[in-house]
Amino acid sequence: MTNTVAITPYNKKLVRATFWMVEPKADEAAEIFYTKLFEMSPELRPLFKGNMRDQGKRMMEMLSTVVKGLNTLDVLAPLVRSMGRRHVNYGIKTEHYNMAAAALMYSLKEELQENWNEEVESAWLEVYQTVSDIMQSA
């Protein structure tokens, strides 16, 4: 059983509201994310051999699934754990999750602009940490 109590109802609401602002610009947000990620961790670039536009779409689809399922993360946990196992097989290490968090926050900040603030960042970090913990428990 996954502990989802850590994500407050208010933070779930903030994440949902801000994600819906970013979703129409998902391709751009994904491009910003991967550009920042590879800038911070160039050693990750060779792990992504496919089309980055397709990779970005998959990432944003998964993010959408998580955001839509914030009230039922226990139901989503097997999918998230499976994704975590795949990431281990790809060579992703624990420290890379921190880089991904920073790249995601950067991407969201760029897309949300004046709608980004410390409260929104805190909500997103809470969600990211919860999902990251589930992935790494695989």
Specify the 3-state DSSP secondary structure of 31: helix
**More confident call, 94 vs 15:** 15
What per-residue confidence (pLDDT) applies to 1? Answer: 42
Q: Which of 81, 15, 6, 93 minimizes the C-alpha distance to 47?
A: 93
Residue 116 has pLDDT above 60, yes or no: yes
Each residue of 43-84: pLDDT tens digit?
999 988 889 999 999 999 999 999 999 999 889 889 999 988
With left for phi above 0 and alpha for psi between -120 and 50, is residue 2 left, alpha or beta? beta
Architecture of the structural domain at 9-136: Orthogonal Bundle (1.10)
Domain ranges of the chain: 9-136
What per-residue confidence (pLDDT) applies to 4? Answer: 47
Q: Which of 34, 53, 54 minimizes the C-alpha distance to 44?
A: 34
| Euclidean distance between CA atoms 47 and 40, whole angstroms | 14
Residue 105 has pLDDT above 50, yes or no: yes
What per-residue confidence (pLDDT) applies to 93? Answer: 84
